[in-house]
Structures are given as structure tokens and as C-alpha cells.
């Protein structure tokens, strides 16, 4: 995975996890970090509200016409 910034090192992740009772090696910590970076990358995107008007008909009205 190619992220712009990785602020937490694998070693730091091992230390943080062990302080919380989770024993992992560096390979496992790297996998956990990759997952967390992936989740944070996808959660950081603001959701777009797709609201547009088609010849004066709102999405809600258009949906009721289609259904």
C-alpha cells in the first residue's frame, strides 16, 4: 500500500499494542497498521451529497415517478 504519510512506526505499534495487552510481532503489527491506514484513508473522504434538479424536478420527486 502506498500512503503519503505513515506517522506510526511498526516498533511503536508493537509497544502501543503490548501496553494494551495485545502481543504481536513486527510482521503482525505491520499488517494491523496497513489495515488501520486503509480504514482511515477511506473514512477520511467526505461523503458527497448528490442533490441536483432535473428540469425543476427534485431527486425525491423523480424517485417517486420512477417507482
Please indicate whether residue 44 or residue 17 has the higher confidence score (pLDDT): 17
Q: What's residue 62's pLDDT? A: 47
Cα separation values, 47 from 7, 19, 41, 50, Å: 25, 35, 13, 9
Cell digits of residue 5 = 504519510
- Check residues 59 and 15 and name the one with the higher pLDDT: 15
> pLDDT at position 43, please?
73
Cell digits of residue 20 = 494494551
| Domain residue spans of the chain | 10-66
- Mean of all residue pLDDT scores within the chain: 76
Question: Under a CB-based contact definition with an 8 Å cutoff, are residues 1 and 34 in contact?
Answer: yes
β-bridge partners, 54: 57
d(CA 67, CA 65): 6
pLDDT at 47 over 60: yes
Q: Binning pLDDT at 50, 70 and 90, where does residue 13 land?
A: very high
Amino acid at each position: 500500500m502506498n500512503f503519503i504519510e505513515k506517522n506510526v512506526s511498526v516498533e511503536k505499534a508493537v509497544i502501543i499494542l503490548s501496553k494494551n495487552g495485545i502481543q504481536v510481532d513486527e510482521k503482525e503489527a505491520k499488517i494491523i497498521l496497513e489495515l488501520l491506514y486503509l480504514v482511515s484513508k477511506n473514512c477520511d473522504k467526505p461523503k458527497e451529497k448528490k442533490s441536483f434538479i432535473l428540469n425543476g424536478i427534485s431527486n425525491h420527486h423523480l424517485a417517486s415517478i420512477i417507482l
